[in-house]
Every structure is written in structure tokens, then in C-alpha cells.
Amino acid sequence: MRIRKSQRCAGISQSQIRAMTRECQRVEGINMAQGICDLDVPDCVIAGARDAMDAGANIYTAPEGTPELREAVAAKLSRTHGLDLNPNSEIMISAGATGAFYAVCLALLDPGDEVILFEPYYGYHVSTLHSLGCVPRYVRLQAPDWHLAPAALSDAITPATRAIVVNTPANPSGKVFSLEELNVIAEVAQAHDLAVLTDEIYEHFVYDGRSHVPPVSVPALADRTITISGLSKVFSITGWRLGYAVGPADVIGPATHLNDMVYVCGPSPLQLGAARGLNELSPDYYRAISDEHEVKRDQFCEVLTSVGLTPHVPEGAYYVLADIAELPGGDDHARAMHILERTGVASVPGRAFFADDAGVGLTRFCFAKKQEVLDEACERILRGLRG
């Protein structure tokens, strides 16, 4: 007997990232496919979680998260985003930025609603929308610098459009949306009464003297933006599953009920570790990791250039899309496999980030590796792909 499954299962498959990770394990290679940051977790974050466990903070928290973490997020967003938030009604802690995005989408969107995503996109955003029966509408950013063409955005709006997703700095392109671009988005959002859902998980990683412009800081977006971010990347705690959504109380309230149904709450002692990190780490900490990623970006992009895999040098985040169109193989998967076979370095074939074949000449590497691992990857690429 086969148990009947929902229609949404038909559209679900193993992500390219997981598939390449498996291929990488097969050849015992260096995994630059997965977006995992290998840096150490800050001591105060670990100590905060350990102290919380010892003190008995091991039971459910409120679905909106512990007061300590909500207050720490409010203080953080006052410093970085200039927001004056009520931690009791405008902040929800969830299972990573992923959980926060899902709960907010559940609260705002109905099946059939259309949502604008910028291409190249982060696959989880697309899968989340599909799983809810929503319809992603893609607006392609213009290579090589991935700028936004305003007409492309207005052309994608239909009467069914409900929201725009802005991932800045973006995975996989490393694009950092400028104030001018956010103003364009604001104009369209206002004209069509759209919500703006952000994903700012890489907000602290911006290069070449750029700054992260939080969409909510654009006056015309202030009351229609749900700001989503998390601690996975900045504290190197991807397995702790901690993120948050911030916005008007009439959105965060229902999103919190839905978050309760799916996740119940974030891990209790880990929330207290993250709160300690937010409260105690100084701006120097954030600057230092951004600088470290920038040095690694430069090192890796130079190697890619020298073997003819021209990089789209990222402005932020810790991924780079490289041009692999000249490598042997009929498509992006075959070419990424060629790189893996020749060098033992895994990447993600470019079509994972586009709705059509536009990514067929691209692959994505994550360069947030420990220095010795990145050095080894660079050497392997030079050895395996030069000339």
C-alpha cells in the first residue's frame, strides 16, 4: 500500500547544496558548497548557554522567545538599524532566519499570492513559498554587478502580488542593495501596497568600505517591512537554530502563534547564550569577522581569476559566483563535477539560483572556511585547473 501524499510533495526534491555535499563526502573533498562558517563560536556565547543550562533554563520558553533575547535583539536593532522596538510585541524569536521567514510567510500569505524574488535567489525562499502554494515571480538582477533595473521590478507586479523579498547582502551573488535601489523598491511597494520581507542574515559581512542599508531604515518602507535575521552566521552557530523577525505588532502577533504551532519555541538555553553574545560583543568583533571574510574573498577571487574562472566579486556575504562556462561538460552540474573531480573542491551548480537556465555557466563557492582549509582549496584549484 502507498500512503497518499500532498500535492506539495511533488515539487520537493533534495537541494543541489545537499546533493553536492554528498558528492563531496564521496571524494573526501573540501566542501565549499554548503554555507557553513567554520569560525569559532565566541566564548561568551558558549558560556552564556552553558550557564543557562546549569541554571535550569531547559524548558519551553514563550513562543516569541525569552525576554532576555528579545531585549538583546531590540538593543542590537536600536544600534544597527535605528529602531525603537517594543520587545514584548514587535519581536519574535524563531528557529533560525529560516523559521522566522516561514512563520512570517504563514502569517502574511495565502495560496495563489504572488511574491517577488530577485534572481539569483536563495533557494529556501523559493521552496518556502512553493510549500505554501504561493507563486514566486522573479526579477533578474543585471550581471556582472547584479544591479536592479527598476522597469524589471514594476513589470513583474500583478494584481496578485503581495510581497517583495529583499535578501541583502545576498546569497549567492553577494549583492548589497544600495539606498537608491531600496528607494525604487519602496516606491513600488507603496504604489501596490506590498509587504517587504527582508533576509539580513549576512548584514555584518560587507566589504570595500560599504555599509549595509537596512530596508526598514528607508522611510517609505518603515511601516511595511518585516526585518528577518539570525545569529547562525555571525556567531557561527548554524546548528543552534536561532533567528528573529521584527515588525508591526499586528504581524508579529499572528506570526508568533504560527511559530508556536511549527516550532513551539527556540532552544531555551541557547537563546540565553545568544543574548549574552549580542549584549557583550563589541563593534570590534563584528568588524574583525567582516575583515577576515574580506581577506578570504580577495584570496579566493584571485585564485579563481588566475585559473580563468572569472568571479563576480561579491560586495558582501560569503559566497562567490564564478564563471565556469569554458570548462568541459555540457552544463553547470557537469562543470561543477569536473571541478570536484579535478580538485576535490565542491561548489553548487549555478542553476540552483535561477528559475531558468541562466545559471548554466556559473557555480557558487562559499569561502567562509578556516584559513588552512581555504589555503588548501586554493592550492588544489591552482594545481587542478591551471592551464
CB nearer to ligand PLP: give 35 or 314. Answer: 35
Determine if 15 is a binding residue for ligand PLP (CB under 6 A).
no
- As measured in angstroms, the least distance from the Cβ of 384 to ligand PLP is 26
| E strand or H helix at 68 | helix 67-81
Which positions from 37 to 76 touch ligand PLP by CB under 6 A, shown as an x/- string? ----------------------------------------
Determine if 271 is a binding residue for ligand PLP (CB under 6 A).
no
Determine if 225 is a binding residue for ligand PLP (CB under 6 A).
no
Determine if 203 is a binding residue for ligand PLP (CB under 6 A).
no
CB 310 within 8 A of CB 322: yes
Determine if 184 is a binding residue for ligand PLP (CB under 6 A).
no
Stretch that binds ligand PLP, among 94-102, 182-190, 257-265, 352-360 (CB under 6 A): 94-102
Question: Per the structure block, which three cell numbers stand in for 293?
Answer: 571574510
CB nearer to ligand PLP: give 157 or 173. Answer: 173
CB 310 within 8 A of CB 325: no
- As measured in angstroms, the least distance from the Cβ of 127 to ligand PLP is 12
Number of residues that bind ligand PLP (CB under 6 A): 13
- As measured in angstroms, the least distance from the Cβ of 275 to ligand PLP is 16
CB nearer to ligand PLP: give 230 or 380. Answer: 230
Q: Radius of gyration over alpha carbons of the chain, in Å?
A: 21
Percent composition of the chain: helix, strand, coil (DSSP 3-state, to 5): 45, 15, 40
Determine if 205 is a binding residue for ligand PLP (CB under 6 A).
no
* Window 348-367: residues binding ligand PLP (CB under 6 A): none
Helix (H, G, I), strand (E, B) or coil at 101: helix
Write the burial class of residue 34 (CB in 10 Å: 0-12 exposed, 13-18 middle, 19+ buried): middle
CB nearer to ligand PLP: give 243 or 350. Answer: 243
Question: Per the structure block, which three cell numbers stand in for 296?
Answer: 578570504
Which residue from 116, 98, 118 is spatially nearest to 173, judged by alpha carbons?
118
Show Cβ contacts of residue 189 under 8 Å, excluding neighbours closer than 6 positions: 164, 195, 196, 220, 221, 224
Stretch that binds ligand PLP, among 91-99, 155-163, 259-267, 351-359 (CB under 6 A): 91-99
Q: In the chain, what is the straight-line distance between the N-terminal and C-terminal CA atoms, in Å? A: 56
DSSP 141: P
DSSP 160: T
* Window 96-125: residues binding ligand PLP (CB under 6 A): 96-98, 122
CB nearer to ligand PLP: give 157 or 164. Answer: 164
- As measured in angstroms, the least distance from the Cβ of 113 to ligand PLP is 21
* Window 311-330: residues binding ligand PLP (CB under 6 A): none
Helix (H, G, I), strand (E, B) or coil at 14: coil
The Cα–Cα gap between 15 and 127 comes to 10
- Binding residues vs ligand PLP (CB under 6 A): 35, 96-98, 122, 167, 171, 199, 201, 230, 232, 238, 243
